[in-house]
């Protein structure tokens, strides 16, 4: 069995976080309904990932898979493959739990589903507060953050952070909080470099975690008319050939050299190995510049159906969409029957 060796970054509280994680978001299908089809594959692949050396697992209440993720983790601990302290587990608090007291309710529910005593990092999934009925509750994320500080103080999480926060929101949070977020998880890929936001985070010792690190690279996952690069892009293929790596490995290495953590998602064991095989080469300065030129601000995950809600963090568009029911009401687990 192939083994991988993933280095760590250090959070601002002194704890370490692996530079590559296993993402557990299965996604919505073309009808905007949560797709549970690949959950058995996810369980099998996550188990394999831990066996070969992955230690960073990224999940969320929204993802519906906390029960299964927890089962895998507990099984690997029972088997002696890992100790709990070897793993770095992240989960997230959804829109419905933005009142200060409700943050703890959400985190305790995640711990129950995961069957864990604590998570290593809990994130405010988005800065918006929206009820299950789609009502804008307009709860200040500063209030929500106070709930996060309580969760940290009680030891339910070893670190607290945010996700999808822009620079102005971070500035306001830093000016009005006791605890600096340990992390900001945001979309970053070759199309969306987010240099200003990354620079701000790194200047304030906030680790940046990149979700959707491949952006529109995989044609089957890309919207019509989405920009290059794709997997067969000549420039990407040429750079990959130069280092004896794949196009996706070059992409993950580029993000790593920017000081970013990536959490690619896959239900393929071979891809799990491939994603982690990026720490034995270095992209030269010219190739880094070439890759940076793909940055055009294109957002793969705009979630524009939230754009009229208070604290929406992205640029607004003329597109008007309804919030999918799957992002408002759900139950967890394979049978969708766990609260």
Q: Taking the mean position of all CA atoms in its chain, how far away is CA 98? A: 19
d(CA 4, CA 16): 17
Helix or strand (DSSP H, E) at 249: helix 247-257
Query: What does DSSP assign to residue 136?
Result: B
Choosing from 22, 48, 54, 63, the catalytic residue is 63
* Residue 47 tokens, joined: 């188990």
Q: What is the CA 339 to chain-centroid distance, rounded? A: 22
Which of 64, 49, 31 has its CA nearest to residue 276? 49
Helix (H) or strand (E) holding 93: strand 88-93
Instruction: Please confirm, yes or no, whether 243 is among the known catalytic residues.
Output: no
Distance between CA atoms of residues 186 and 164, nearest Å: 5
Q: What CATH architecture applies to the domain 8-327?
A: Alpha-Beta Barrel (3.20)
Assigned token pair, 305: 């159906």
Contact in structure between 54 and 21 (CB atoms under 8 Å): yes
**How confident is the prediction along the chain (339 residues), in pLDDT tens digits per residue?**
779 999 999 999 999 999 999 999 999 988 899 999 999 999 999 999 999 999 999 999 999 999 999 999 999 999 999 999 999 999 999 999 999 999 999 999 999 999 999 999 999 999 999 999 999 999 999 999 999 999 999 999 999 999 999 999 999 999 999 999 999 999 999 999 999 999 999 999 999 999 999 999 987 778 888 999 999 999 999 999 999 999 999 999 999 999 999 999 999 999 999 999 999 999 999 999 999 999 999 999 999 999 999 999 999 988 888 899 999 999 999 999 999
DSSP 125: S
The DSSP line for 184-211 is EEEE-SSS---HHHHHHHHHTT-EEEEE
Q: Where are the domains of the chain?
A: 8-327
| Residue 96 · residue 130 · CB < 8 Å | yes
């Amino acid at each position: 069995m192939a083994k991988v060796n993933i280095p760590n970054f250090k959070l601002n509280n002194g704890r370490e976080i692996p530079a590559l994680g296993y993402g557990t978001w299965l996604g919505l299908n073309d009808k905007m309904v949560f797709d549970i089809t690949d959950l058995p594959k996810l369980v099998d692949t996550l188990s394999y990932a831990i066996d070969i050396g992955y230690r960073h697992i990224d999940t969320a209440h929204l993802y519906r898979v906390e029960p299964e993720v927890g089962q895998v983790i507990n099984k690997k601990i029972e088997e002696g493959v890992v100790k709990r302290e070897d793993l770095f587990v992240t989960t997230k608090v959804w829109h419905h739990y933005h009142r200060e007291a409700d943050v703890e309710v959400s985190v305790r529910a995640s711990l129950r589903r995961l069957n864990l005593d604590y998570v290593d990092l809990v994130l405010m999934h988005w800065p918006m507060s929206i009820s299950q009925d789609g009502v804008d509750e307009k709860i200040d994320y500063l209030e929500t953050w106070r709930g996060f500080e309580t969760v940290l103080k009680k030891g339910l999480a070893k670190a607290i952070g945010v996700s999808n926060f822009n620079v102005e929101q971070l500035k306001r949070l830093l000016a009005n909080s006791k605890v600096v977020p340990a992390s900001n998880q945001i979309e970053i890929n070759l199309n969306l470099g987010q240099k200003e936001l990354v620079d701000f985070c790194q200047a304030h010792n906030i680790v940046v975690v990149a979700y959707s690190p491949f952006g529109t690279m995989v044609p089957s996952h890309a919207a019509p008319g989405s920009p290059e690069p794709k997997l067969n892009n000549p420039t990407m293929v040429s750079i990959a050939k130069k280092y004896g790596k794949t196009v996706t490995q070059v992409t993950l290495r580029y993000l790593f050299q920017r000081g970013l953590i990536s959490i690619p998602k896959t239900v393929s064991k071979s891809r799990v190995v491939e994603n982690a095989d990026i720490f034995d080469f270095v992209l030269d300065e010219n190739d880094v510049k070439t890759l940076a030129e793909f940055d055009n601000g294109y957002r793969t995950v705009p979630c524009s159906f939230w754009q009229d809600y208070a604290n929406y963090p992205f640029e607004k568009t003329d597109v008007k969409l309804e919030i999918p029911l799957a992002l408002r009401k759900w139950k967890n687990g394979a049978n969708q029957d766990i609260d």
